[in-house]
Amino acid sequence: MRLATWNINGIKARLHNVLAWLEKDSPDFACLQEIKSEDDSLPRLEIEALGYHIETHGQKGFNGVALLSKSPIEDVTRGLPGDDSDTQARYIEGVVSTETGAVRLGGLYLPNGNPVDTEKYPYKLAWMARLKAHAAERLKLEEPFVLAGDYNVIPTETDVHDPEAWRDDALFKPETRAAYWGLMSLGFTDAIAATAPEPHAYTFWDFQGGAWPKNHGIRIDHLLLSPEAANRLSTAGISMELRSWEKPSDHVPVWVDLDV
């Protein structure tokens, strides 16, 4: 079973790429971030024509997350618990059935947090605290659970082309990385780090400054596996070639294969 995550940076602007990716890589269960579309204006018919079920938590113009699956999606949760006043569409979760049981996928678009001297950075850290609390509850279910998406977190210095250039950025600040490793300490496994440990494997290249041809990237899109999912880990990878497609997103898909 292939699970994948991709920040598509606008589903309407990049629908052709999304459809081409679904036909090429054929993920069984996937999450998308930054769909930048309200639920009722999403181009569902084109995606459903490829055999996918869709669940969305949309928002006009920015944010927005979605789940796509070849099987019906059950037990859908929209929004990250812990703050009823938070209206940003950044989290969606669902379950699909397999021959050996259920697989749960949480798709997230973690706040960027910049500029760090504004309210955006405390919001990022508070969101990460809520995510950890929610993940801890989900782990009690003892089922294959994949927490995937655009984390806007650079975990280590080998996940960025120039650590010094990012030292004071919200994606790389010590407080951010500490919150990320606090989440990992619950018992998650980073699918990419576990299967492709070579350094400088990136998932994002800025549109500016020739970042893509220079390979000046960062790794901020992650698939974290619960112990039950990690026990079924076969392989994982980064679909870097999509960054060269016409009208690409600044992110590329990241995927993991589980034996379920």
| pLDDT tens digits along 106-132 | 999 999 999 999 999 999 999 999 999
State the chain's mean pLDDT as an integer: 96
156 to each of 104, 181, 213, how far by Cα in Å? 27, 10, 22
Tens digits of residue pLDDT in 82-109: 999 999 999 999 999 998 889 999 999 9
Please compute the mean of the pLDDT values over residues 214-235 and round it to a whole number: 97
Domain spans of the chain, in order of start: 2-258
Catalytic site residues?
109, 150
Query: Which DSSP state fits 140?
Result: T
- The stretch 35-44 carries a mean pLDDT of 94
The whole-number average pLDDT for the span 138-142 is 98
Which tens digit of pLDDT belongs to each residue from 12-24? 999 999 999 999 9
Average pLDDT for 150-158: 97
Report pLDDT for 198: 78
What pLDDT is stored for residue 99 in this prediction? 87
Give mean pLDDT, residues 235-255.
97
Architecture of domain 2-258: 4-Layer Sandwich (3.60)
- Average pLDDT rounded to a whole number, residues 44-71: 96
Question: For residues 82 and 70, is the Cβ–Cβ distance under 8 A?
Answer: no
Q: What share of the chain is helix, strand, coil (3-state, %, to 5)?
A: 30, 30, 45
